[in-house]
């Protein structure tokens, strides 16, 4: 059932401006703040990936990201997802171990993509700038561009009214892409600490659609589920013509246990939105973004 609630209080000390700036300086990007978390993205724009002839853009499904979450003791926890080619994986895992970070999952999010892509989920805790230096070392074992094009975000170029009529106001629209976040309504925790359901840590379900040149849209994302929601959400997505690519965990010590369901679908935007709405209606989530 879709619920609308207010954000619960987050038991983590707020980071000061210098904490964020030190991380930004190390990684060379400003990032975005959401629910007290600083997230920095590194889109894999160097990759040319497709699924059955449909291009997979970096913005849709191929973005490396890291979220920096302040802890009550003044340290930071970092959680993130490193997108790697298959031939980059060994080097990334070697560097994660060398830097004293942890691996929480290695797996696929897509299926039948060419070339093959994997996702290495990592975590660590320490001083913010030092964690950023460690992340930079891990990134150096991939060909991910460390900087992006300068300038303003691309203005929306698509009329998404048939989608917003079903899913509501989006968290973000840019160019030919629309993106939603639907934070979970119950209390989440990590190692006993209350954890925000947010895009910053990818602990909120994320839904993306991107328009294709022929008027169809492609959808991809991740539903963040409790165990009792998995079957009904699977049926909602597949019953509307989408393919579920993976069901798995991203973290190790979260409560309640969270299962991530990744899907792929191509079709009329309004039909895809109807399937996504059916899935969301079976989840304990709030309307709208985590802002």
> Residue 13 pLDDT more than 70?
no
Q: Which of 68, 43, 48, 32 is nearest to 139 (CA)?
A: 43
Confidence of residue 153 (pLDDT cuts 50, 70, 90): confident
Residues 116 and 28 in one domain: yes
For 122, phi then psi, to 5°, come to -130, 160
Residues 108 and 196 in one domain: no
Tell me, yes or no, whether 255 lies in a domain: yes
Tens digits of residue pLDDT in 176-190: 999 999 999 999 999
CA distance 257 to 274: 27
Q: What is the CATH number of the domain that holds 67?
A: 3.30.1460
Residues 87 and 49 in one domain: yes
Tell me, yes or no, whether 152 lies in a domain: no
Residues 214 and 169 in one domain: yes
**Containing H/E element for 184?**
none
pLDDT, position 154: 83
Tell me, yes or no, whether 39 lies in a domain: yes
How many domains are there within the chain? 2
Residues 172 and 109 in one domain: no
Confidence of residue 60 (pLDDT cuts 50, 70, 90): very high
> Residue 171 pLDDT more than 70?
no
Tell me, yes or no, whether 56 lies in a domain: yes
Which pTM does this prediction carry?
A: 0.92
Mean pLDDT estimate for the chain: 92
Tell me, yes or no, whether 273 lies in a domain: yes
Tell me, yes or no, whether 287 lies in a domain: no
Tens digits of residue pLDDT in 176-229: 999 999 999 999 999 999 999 999 999 999 999 999 999 999 999 999 999 999
For the chain, give the percent of residues with pLDDT over 70. Answer: 91
CA distance 180 to 153: 17
Distances (CA, A) of 177 to 155, 172, 181, 220, 242: 10, 8, 14, 11, 18
Tokens matching residue 251: 């973290």
Residues 69 and 122 in one domain: yes
> Residue 38 pLDDT more than 80?
yes
> Residue 126 pLDDT more than 80?
yes
Residues 170 and 114 in one domain: no
Picking from 139, 170, 191, the residue at the C-terminal end of a domain is 139
Whole domain around residue 217: which residue ranges? 161-280
Residues 132 and 185 in one domain: no
> What residues contact 223, with CB distance under 8 A and at least 6 apart?
205, 229, 233, 237, 260, 261, 263, 279, 283
Tell me, yes or no, whether 88 lies in a domain: yes
Residues 177 and 84 in one domain: no
């Amino acid at each position: 059932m879709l619920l609308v609630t207010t954000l619960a209080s987050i038991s983590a000390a707020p980071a000061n401006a210098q904490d964020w700036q030190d991380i930004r300086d190390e990684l060379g990007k400003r990032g975005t703040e959401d629910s007290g978390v600083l997230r920095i993205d590194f889109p894999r724009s160097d990759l040319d990936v497709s699924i059955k002839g449909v291009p997979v853009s970096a913005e849709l499904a191929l973005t490396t990201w890291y979220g920096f979450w302040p802890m009550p003791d003044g340290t930071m926890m970092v959680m993130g997802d490193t997108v790697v080619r298959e031939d980059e994986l060994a080097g990334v895992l070697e560097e994660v171990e060398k830097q004293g970070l942890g691996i929480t999952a290695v797996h696929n999010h897509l299926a039948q993509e060419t070339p093959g892509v994997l996702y290495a989920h990592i975590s660590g805790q320490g001083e913010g700038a030092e964690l950023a230096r460690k992340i930079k070392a891990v990134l150096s074992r991939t060909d991910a561009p460390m900087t992006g094009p300068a300038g303003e975000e691309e203005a929306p170029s698509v009329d998404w009214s048939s989608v917003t009529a079903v899913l509501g106001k989006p968290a973000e629209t840019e160019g030919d892409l629309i993106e939603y976040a639907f934070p979970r309504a119950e209390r989440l925790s990590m190692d006993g600490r209350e954890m925000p359901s947010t895009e910053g840590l990818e602990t909120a379900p994320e839904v993306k659609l991107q328009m294709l040149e022929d008027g169809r849209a492609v959808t991809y994302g991740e539903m963040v589920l409790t165990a009792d929601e998995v079957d009904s959400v699977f049926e909602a997505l597949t019953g509307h013509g989408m393919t579920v690519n993976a069901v798995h965990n991203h973290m190790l010590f979260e409560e309640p246990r969270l299962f991530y369901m990744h899907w792929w679908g191509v079709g009329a935007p309004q039909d895809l939105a109807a399937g996504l709405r059916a899935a969301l209606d079976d989840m304990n989530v709030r309307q709208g973004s985590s802002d």
